[in-house]
Chain A
């Protein structure tokens, strides 16, 4: 949870309680994404999908607003690390801000990989804010069909 410093108002001692109530209400508001501040800062770790097919694993991560320069994907001893930083716009700081719901900052996600992954042939592709990694399985790990001969 983020450590936040709010200006305390001596004239309104119930302000903190109201803030807490709003944050708890936010938890049950399934219609919207949770905010990036307060009780919820889960949005700082981007959502991942991992799927397994017969010959490869596919990892998809939602990274809106990031370009390939902001991203660092590495595999070391069968642990996949996706690291990056979503930079906040400088010009946005000067103008008037009415609402802020998106997240910015750096993040890191690690994922232990099965031994069957062929780490030398990983393909990574960033399109429309979605990073797709295709991790092929080793030849010997792929399922093989054994034909039964009738005599």
Chain B
């Protein structure tokens, strides 16, 4: 049994997420305040994109709480990827507590222009 097993599991919640198209890519923008690059992990398993981030707990010795509104929960959410998403071209970026994931479409799914050849 390692250290991790002994720790009580923290509850998780899904981070608020915006999904939109930008420049032919599908973008996911998640609000994950308090999550650092080290405590964030993104996995693609089968058809699932799993995003989990640990909200860093208040440093020990911070004292007693007078107001407590920030939920003591980690972030976890899984999204299903459909067949049009290229699994090898997923980029992620963490800026000011916002995680931005760019999902590219497969080359075969992109709109194509068919050239018309005029024969005389």
Contact = CB atoms under 8 A, between A and B. Distances in A.
Interface of A: 31-33, 36, 43, 47-54, 57-58, 60, 62-67, 91-92, 95-103, 111, 126, 128-130
B66 A102 contact: no
Given A33-B13, A48-B70, A128-B33, A66 B18 contact: no
Contacts of A111: 67
Interface in B62-85: 62-71
A47 B70 contact: yes
Contacts of A99: 17-20
Interface of B: 13-22, 26, 29-36, 58, 61-71, 94-98
Nearest to A94: B22
Residue of A48, A62, A99 most packed against chain B (CB within 10 A): A62
Contacts of A54: 63
B98 A33 contact: no
A28 to B, nearest CB: 15
Contacts of A97: 18-21
A49 B68 contact: yes
A49 B20 contact: no
A51 B16 contact: no
Contacts of B29: 102
Contacts of A47: 69-71
B35 A128 contact: yes
Q: Chain A CB within 10 Å — which of B21, B30, B36, B63 has the most?
A: B63
A33 B33 CA distance: 13
Contacts of A31: 13-14
Nearest to A66: B96
Nearest to A114: B66
Contacts of B67: 48-50, 111
A51 B69 contact: no
A103 B16 contact: yes
Nearest to A34: B16
Contacts of B32: 64, 129
Nearest to A63: B33
Contact of A128 (B13, B14, B96): B96
